[in-house]
Structure 1
Amino acid sequence: MMTNLFSIFDPSTNLLNISLNWLSTFMGLMFIPYSFWLIPNRHFIIWNFIINKLHFEFKNLLSPNSLNGSTFIFISLFSFVLFNNFLGLFPYIFTSTSHLNISLSITLSLWLSFMFYGWINNSQHMFIHMIPQGTPNILMPFMVIIETISNIIRPGTLAVRLTANMIAGHLLLTLLSNTGINLPNYLIIILILIQILLLTLEMAVAIIQSYVIAILSTLYSNEVN
């Protein structure tokens, strides 16, 4: 029984007090090996086209000093988030990206790796980045504080953005579906059409949020080089 509206996002399936809902995050691993030995079909060709487009776009965003193959980190991030976002659109499948456990783990690990790499290898560049060019001398201490705070909250803002967008659409779909119990038949048809439009919008949101988190992570990594 649903105790409150947000309880639909709670991991409820468990075995020996181990939550099984999080296993949905690893469902994509079952489909990856097929691309290595099956004859490429339309699905594989389209996905390969998307990956190539993302590769060239991320490559343009990264600095020339970046290591070869750096774009594949962000392509993998895009693919992982996109897959889990789309899983949440199917009934009775747990949406792992609607929880800060997953989204904050991803963004925080990336941000920490960027910070460690930047401060160890390009410490002078990291200090210079704290003070924008042309800042008056009297404002420099305040700009250092502001830039430090804005840098620290980056993983939190990325995680909250992804989680909030995933939760908002699912809550709206749940609210509308709960109202259909007491509606007459002609209004139920209208409600179904609205639900289909919202599902289409949620598909777009799933793609956009995956693209946003990958692009912002790419831009953040470019600042440490």
Structure 2
Amino acid sequence: MTNLFSIFDPSTSLTSLSLNWISSLLCIMLLPLSFWILNNRYSAFWNKPFIILNNEFNMLMNKKTNKGTTLIFISLFTMIMINNIMGLFPYVFTSTSHMSMTLAMSLPMWLSFMIFGWLKNTESMFTHLVPTGTPGILMPFMVCIETISNMIRPGTLAVRLAANMIAGHLIMTLLGNTTMDVSINILPAMIIIQMMLLTLETAVAIIQGYVFAVLSTLYASEVN
């Protein structure tokens, strides 16, 4: 499962050392440079969406007791979005299409939320297991259902992101392979379809990063 559809990934090796995952570190190496320069159009381009996301995440969490917590989710959104968009370029490794990458982001974060919640807000965590207005007969079943739904959260976060990236890249790969064999009359239509699909995948790359960050924020707000 961690290497699903890895056949579509470019193979780069240097002395039997795979260099595919270096593409995931480019954003980490390039983005911090913006913190050491004066205000310009480049920094304003990044600060505008960050301010919007900060205000939106603060609405989901308590501003007074969680100052600066939204920076974690904004950084997570930025890393996922850049990795998704970079994967649309030819011969660039898409790390977010692998469960080894997505699960490594969701599982430690969910585990830290659970440990914090059960140690600091134990009564509140027990309260979340039984929704308000549940009949007494159904309470044992609701506890089981809520416990299972809570435990599969990191898996759903990881699978959702990886599946969306895999599906888009698979369709683009199949269309790209069939374009080589079509007649000259159908070629313009195939190119237009590929351009529309590339635009859709760019939107999906941004939306998936946003969904991952918003769901993580909601999970964090529940333990407070």
Q: TM-score range by the shorter chain?
A: over 0.9
Please tell me the residue identity of whatever aligns with 2:179. Answer: G
Q: Confirm whether residue 12 of structure 1 aligns to residue 16 of structure 2.
A: no
Q: Is the 8 A contact 2:27 2:82 kept in 1?
A: yes
Aligned to 2:195: 196
- Cα shift at 1:10: 4.5
Aligned to 1:92: 91
RMSD after superposition: 1.6
Q: Is the 8 A contact 2:113 2:223 kept in 1?
A: yes
Unaligned runs of 5+ in 1: none
- Cα shift at 1:157: 0.5
In 2, the alpha carbon distance for the partners of 1:217 and 1:87 equals 23
Please give the TM-score of this superposition, normalised by the length of structure 1: 0.93
In 2, the alpha carbon distance for the partners of 1:10 and 1:127 equals 44
Describe the superposition over 1:41-82 as per-residue Cα deviations: whole angstroms up to 9, x where unpaired.
Answer: 333212100000000100110135642100000000100100
After superposition, the Cα gap between the structure-2 partners of 1:173 and 1:65, relative to the gap in structure 1 and judged at 3 Å, is: same
After superposition, the Cα gap between the structure-2 partners of 1:7 and 1:64, relative to the gap in structure 1 and judged at 3 Å, is: closer
In 2, the alpha carbon distance for the partners of 1:180 and 1:73 equals 42
Aligned to 1:166: 165
Aligned to 1:28: 27
Aligned to 1:83: 82
Q: Is the 8 A contact 2:129 2:142 kept in 1?
A: yes
Unaligned runs of 5+ in 2: none
Q: How many residues align?
A: 221
In 2, the alpha carbon distance for the partners of 1:7 and 1:132 equals 42
Aligned to 2:112: 113
Please give the TM-score of this superposition, normalised by the length of structure 2: 0.93
- Cα shift at 1:192: 1.0
Describe the superposition over 1:89-112 as per-residue Cα deviations: whole angstroms up to 9, x where unpaired.
Answer: 100000000000010110001100
In 2, the alpha carbon distance for the partners of 1:84 and 1:30 equals 13
In 1, the alpha carbon distance for the partners of 2:119 and 2:159 equals 28
Q: Confirm whether residue 62 of structure 1 aligns to residue 32 of structure 2.
A: no
Q: Is the 8 A contact 2:114 2:223 kept in 1?
A: yes
Identity, % of aligned positions:
57
- Cα shift at 1:162: 0.4
In 2, the alpha carbon distance for the partners of 1:125 and 1:11 equals 48
In 2, the alpha carbon distance for the partners of 1:152 and 1:33 equals 34
After superposition, the Cα gap between the structure-2 partners of 1:168 and 1:153, relative to the gap in structure 1 and judged at 3 Å, is: same
Aligned to 2:141: 142
